[in-house]
Copies of this chain bind each other. A is one copy, B any other.
Amino acid sequence: MSSLTLKDVAKVAGVSYATVSRALSGSPEIGEKTRQRILKLCDEMGYTPNSVARSMVMKHTNIIGLILASIDNPFMSELTVHLEIYARELGYNLMVCNSSYNQKLERDVFRLLLSRKVDGIIILPISHSSDESLQSLTSQVPTVFVSENMQDLPENYISIDNTRGMKIATDYLYSLGHRKIVYLGARKNSVTHALRVEGYTSTCKKHGIEPIIIESNYPRSSHEAGYLLAREYFSKSHDETAILCASDSLAIGVMHAAYEKGIRIPEDLSLMGFDNISFASLPPINLTTINQPKQELATSAMDLLIQHINGTESGYSSKLVSPSLVIRGSCLARNKEINANGGPHA
């Protein structure tokens, strides 16, 4: 179990261990013949470089920390695969920590990562106020926030253009002939939500229709929250023809409540989500939504982080990534024309 060291192979190679080091690191100051001989020997002996010793002297670990609420959230796990694959391409490994939607834990794991001497941290913060809670920590290591818009805060971040996303969504519904559109699931104290709401209301105004907003007091935009919200909404009579949800999860819950009420989607009611999480495309769900480009979010975040690690970038940077419409089957044109796709389950 205790593996070979440079010294071991140096001994059998009959050279000093500095030479072996040079051979491995591709240093120019070494003869080609010796290098080949040593490389071959390392291979034969099954030598594995010890990257912790290397980190010790190099003063960087090539590991980057990832903090997220819960990796089983489909949005987060999709982001994670892109993050991990891209990081590895760039020579980094990922140390992943769940913050479990808990601000204190978020802070604790951040500290932990600090003592692990990670070169940088990517964090999908619990909320906008994570910045405050993480005070004095984010300045100790390059860190970039992902998916939460940290505008006006001294932080690096990558986020989708939430406002534009909801504009696209609202425009789409409007173009389908909908004139009464409810926005469901706005959450107070979230700038992401505020931005999304703004996209919705401004577009309503542009078209001269009235925005109708159902706020949510639930802590997360889960499908349970969507169900509860929609059930209450459906319990009174309404003449809206479309529901625009603040997230896909919420929309799933709305589907459930609608089904119970005998309201058919999309025939009786059009429904849209936001995020385009993996299961939005599942046939029984087949939800029309706004895509967040996960891979672009991931690579942008990583690129930005690396720039800060390398000192290429200073100050605070941010980037907004573009949303796009993904039409599936949960919306129908209002003017009796049939829209391209069938409906959930089509």
Binding site for B on A (CB under 8 A): 1-3, 46, 48-53, 55-56, 59, 61, 63, 70-72, 74, 77-78, 80-81, 84-85, 88, 93-98, 100, 109, 111-112, 114-117, 136, 140-141, 223, 227, 252-253, 255-256, 259, 278-279, 282-285, 344-346
Contact = CB atoms under 8 A, between A and B. Distances in A.
18 contacts: A48-B111, A48-B115, A52-B52, A53-B56, A71-B71, A80-B96, A84-B98, A85-B98, A93-B116, A223-B283, A252-B282, A252-B283, A252-B284, A253-B283, A256-B284, A256-B345, A259-B345, A279-B282
Given A52-B55, A117-B50, A81 B74 contact: no
Nearest to A279: B279
Chain copies in the assembled complex: 2
Q: Which 6 A-B pairs have the closest CB atoms?
A: A256-B283, A77-B77, A72-B77, A259-B345, A284-B284, A72-B78
B85 A100 contact: yes
Given A71-B71, A259-B345, A95 B63 contact: yes
A252 B346 CA distance: 13
A172 B48 CA distance: 52
Contacts of A3: 140
A189 B155 CA distance: 51
B1 A72 contact: no
Given A52-B61, A56-B56, A253-B283, 7 more contacts: A48-B114, A51-B115, A85-B98, A88-B109, A255-B283, A282-B285, A284-B344
A98 to B, nearest CB: 5
B72 A84 contact: no
Contacts of A84: 71, 96-98
Contacts of A77: 71-72, 74, 77
Nearest to A73: B77
A93 B95 CA distance: 7
A345 to B, nearest CB: 4
